[in-house]
Amino acid sequence: MSAESLRRALAEAGFAVEVEARDRLAVIRPRDAGAAAAIGSARERVSAIAARHGFTHTALEIAARAGLQSAPAADASLPGD
Amino acid sequence: MSSSAPSPSPASNASAARSAELARAKEAALAAWLRERGRVAIGFSGGVDSAYLACVAVDTLGADNVLAIIGRSASYPAAQWETARGVAQRFGIPVLEIDTHEMDDPRYAANPSNRCYFCKSELWSLLIPAARARGIDTVADGTNADDVSGHRPGAVAAGEQAVASPLLVAGLTKDEIRTLSEARGIPTWSQPSSPCLSSRIPYGIAVTATRLAMIERAEAALRDLGIEGDLRVRYHDDLARIEIGAQELDRWLEPVASARIAIAVQRAGFERVAIDLRGFRSGSLNVLTGVSAA
């Protein structure tokens, strides 16, 4: 299984993401909020694509600030706080 | 025109009645098993199975002849302990608490695929003498009829120390135990299964008190956010992989909701957070690490 081959397959399917492989876990990092929403809506399809590349688990990395990919400071306030 | 849901068919009503009758018959068999022993000590976690067993035991034998023993350690969540204490208080179940020290066993801490064997060996090696010291010869666990498959090295340790499994003997399944628990008003009837915190760490990655505390804090924080049902925070070094019920995914993958999850889990000590796209799967880490059988 290869993170790069999965990334390419997801790109061909219209998902703009980075992929990190941790053994048989694929960590999907969306490039923007639109990609995150698209992955969430098509999670079964994304999991199926990842499974075809040998990954038993597929997880969408989430950020503390809605819509942003990079991890923010841990003391960021909760939305609505 | 009525807008109410269609009524169950006579056939489905009859099937439900037969299922309920079968469950009650199994419960009667459980009570008979308990009466034959006279006195019983129960490994009591406050989970669905041991809570039900303890309640039936007290109902059948009287509180003077039952002892529910809680083994406490870093791998036993505080929330679970509170549930156990609450059930015991409400149903008059005598409780003994014992500190277990599986974390001090390097064979356990190294987290091999048979880790549960070392934990249960420690647990029963303390519980059985405690029961015997109080004149109780029979020690039982909450293993049920659904627990005979899968990767369960802890059952080997129980077998070696002659721990009885009366729910299994009676043929009671998890669903039946939930149904019978609800009928008795036991609040754990709808509680998700709750294996120990170490089950969130992949085999081969050391179990430490620090890691268990991070996992426990993260799961407690996610419960506080309102996540119900099955929930696991799986440990992957700096990354927490969150498994929640598949029916909950739409709600929690929404941007603001997922941001709240990320904040809660990062505050618990993880740098990165990801939500599993297939949701909760029992034994998920066994699949990930290629473990399929005991």
C-alpha span between B74 and B72 (Å, rounded):
7
Indicate the DSSP class of residue A78: P
Contact flag B277-A59 (C-beta cutoff 8 Å): yes
On the question of pLDDT at A70 being above 50, the answer is: no
- Architecture of the structural domain at B197-289: 2-Layer Sandwich (3.30)
- The 10s digit of each residue's pLDDT in B127-178 is 999 999 999 999 999 999 999 877 788 999 999 999 999 999 999 999 999 9
Q: The tokens 């199975």 sit on which residue?
A: B49
**Helix B153-160 and helix B115-132: axis angle, to 10°?**
30
Residue A68 lies in a domain: no
Asked, for residue A37, whether it belongs to a domain, the answer is: yes
- Look up residue B139 and give its two tokens: 């020690």
A35 within some domain: yes
- Residue A67 inside a domain? The answer is no
Residue A80 in domain: no
Which value does ipTM take for this structure?
0.84
Q: What is the pLDDT of residues B211-223, one digit of tens each?
A: 999 999 999 999 9
- Tell me if A66 is assigned to some domain: no
- Which of A25, A29, A32, A41 to probe the B interface (max B CBs under 10 A)? A25
Judge whether B66 and B208 are in contact, CB under 8 Å: no
CATH superfamily of B16-190: HUPs (3.40.50.620)
Task: Print the domain residue range for A25.
Answer: 3-60
Does the residue A69 lie in any domain?
no
Percent of chain B with pLDDT over 90: 83
pLDDT tens digits, residue range B223-233?
A: 999 999 999 99
The alpha-carbon gap from A73 to the nearest alpha carbon of chain B, in Å, equals 9
| Residue B285 pLDDT level (bands cut at 50, 70, 90) | confident
Tokens 């923010």 sit at which residue? Answer: A72
Helical (H) or strand (E) element with B92? none
Residues 6+ apart with CB under 8 A from B249: A40, A43, B275, B277, B279
Domain assignment present for residue A72? The answer is no
Q: Is residue B294 very low, low, confident or very high in pLDDT (cuts 50, 70, 90)?
A: very low
CA distance A76 to chain B (A): 7
Mutate to test the interface with B, among A58, A62, A65, A77 (most CBs of B within 10 A): A62
pLDDT tens per residue across span B5-62: 567 777 778 888 888 899 999 999 999 999 999 999 999 999 999 999 999 999 999 9
pLDDT at A41: 92
The predicted model gives A27-55 an average pLDDT of 94
Q: What is chain B's mean pLDDT, rounded?
A: 93
Q: How many domains does chain A have?
A: 1
The full DSSP string for B132-192 is HTTT--EEE----TTTTSS--HHHHHHHHTT-B-HHHHTT--HHHHHHHHHHHT-GGGGPP
Q: CA–CA separation, B162 vs B124, rounded Å?
A: 9
Closest CA to B261 of B273, B246, B278, B248: B273
Q: Which residues on neighbouring strands pair with residue A22, listed in sequence order?
A: A25
**Domain boundaries along the sequence of chain B:** 16-190, 197-289
Length, in residues, of chain A: 81
Nearest-CA residue of chain A relative to B239?
A: A61
- Minimal CA–CA distance to B234: which of B280, B267, B294, B192? B280
